[in-house]
Structures are given as C-alpha cells and as structure tokens.
C-alpha cells in the first residue's frame, strides 16, 4: 500500500482547487441557463418571468456568477455572492418545510452555499483568468491603457 507523498499533494493543490472551481461554476451556471432560457432540461422559454423576485434574480446570479467562477474572474467576490444567494434560497424556501436538507429538498442549495464559501476562502486556484491578468507585464497593461 503506497501513500502519495505530501510534496505531490502540495504541488497538485492549486490544480485540484482550480478544477473543482471550474466544475462547480459550470454546474451552477447550467442551473441559471435552464431557469432563464429553458435549455439543458429547463422548461422551454425559461422557468422564471423577467424581473420577478427572487426567481429571476437568483437565475441571473446563477448564470453570471457561475460563469465568473468557472472562468476564475473576480472569483472571490462572485463566490461570496453565489454563496449568499444559496443561503438565502435555503433559509427562505427550503428550511420552512423541514429541518434537514434531505427532507426539505434543499440539498443542492446547501451544497452550493458551502462550496462557494470554500472557493471564496481558498481563492481560484490554478487555471483562472485572475491569475493570468495579475501576471500581465506592467508595460503591456500601461500601453493598452493609454492606447
């Protein structure tokens, strides 16, 4: 029985965090797209009427926030907003039906809430646009800003 050396785990950590962020962002954005546009198994034409509270706003947060987290762009801020929207969904919609998520249908809301909170705390990991933009040479950033 072999154990993975801690140096291997340490060097893979940013990539594991990045891949988890990508998967969570993709899945979350699919919920928003299904609610807004009726794609990916959603009701044709979308399931929420435009500008209705809270459904339409939640779907926009899911789509836009999910895509931002997926790309790793403004990751921590987007993740906090997504986490908060899922906490709101859990406590305002699901919690009143029963105590435990398995009983009240709030498993997805609870899991997304905690997953996004973890992303906000750990950061985007590897493979994020935030990291690419931060590493841009100052001369390129200055030249493009003055052009």
- Does the CA dihedral 76-80-85-90 come out positive or negative? positive
Q: Is residue 52 part of a domain?
A: yes
pLDDT mean over 27-55: 85
Q: In which domain, by residue range, is 130 found? A: 17-146
Q: Is the pLDDT of residue 102 over 70?
A: yes
Summarised one tens digit per residue, pLDDT across range 52-62 is 888 899 999 99
Q: Is residue 87 part of a domain?
A: yes
Q: Is residue 6 part of a domain?
A: no
pLDDT mean over 25-50: 86
The count of C-alpha atoms lying within 13 angstroms of the C-alpha of 50, restricted to the half-sphere facing its C-beta, is 2
Quote the mean pLDDT of the chain: 88
Q: Is the pLDDT of residue 87 over 90?
A: yes
CA distances in angstroms from 67 to 4, 17, 27, 97, 104, listed in the order given:
33, 16, 9, 31, 28
Q: Is residue 1 part of a domain?
A: no
Q: Is residue 78 part of a domain?
A: yes
pLDDT mean over 78-87: 98
Which is more confidently placed, 85 or 141?
Answer: 85
Containing 27, the helix (H) or strand (E) segment is helix 6-37
pLDDT mean over 94-121: 94
Structural domains of the chain, count? 1
pLDDT band at 68 (very low <50, low <70, confident <90, very high): very high
Q: Is residue 11 part of a domain?
A: no
Q: Is residue 26 part of a domain?
A: yes
Closest CA to 58 of 23, 24, 34: 34
Highest mean pLDDT among 8-12, 62-66, 143-147: 62-66
Q: Is residue 122 part of a domain?
A: yes
Q: Angle at CA 75, nearest 5°, toward 71 and 81?
A: 120
Percent of the chain with pLDDT over 70: 86
């Amino acid at each position: 029985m072999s154990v993975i050396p801690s140096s291997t785990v340490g060097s893979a950590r940013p990539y594991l965090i990045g891949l988890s962020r990508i998967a969570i962002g993709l899945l979350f954005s699919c919920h928003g797209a299904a609610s807004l546009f009726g794609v990916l198994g959603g009701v044709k034409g979308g399931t929420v009427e435009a500008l209705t509270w809270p459904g339409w706003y939640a779907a926009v947060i899911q789509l836009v926030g999910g895509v931002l987290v997926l790309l790793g762009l403004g990751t921590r801020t987007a993740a906090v907003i997504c986490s908060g929207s899922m906490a709101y969904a859990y406590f305002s919609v699901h919690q009143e039906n029963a105590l435990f998520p398995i009983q009240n249908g709030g498993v997805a809301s609870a899991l997304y809430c905690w997953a996004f909170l973890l992303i906000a705390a750990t950061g985007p990991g590897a493979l994020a646009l935030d990291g690419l933009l931060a590493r841009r040479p100052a001369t390129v950033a200055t030249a493009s800003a003055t052009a």
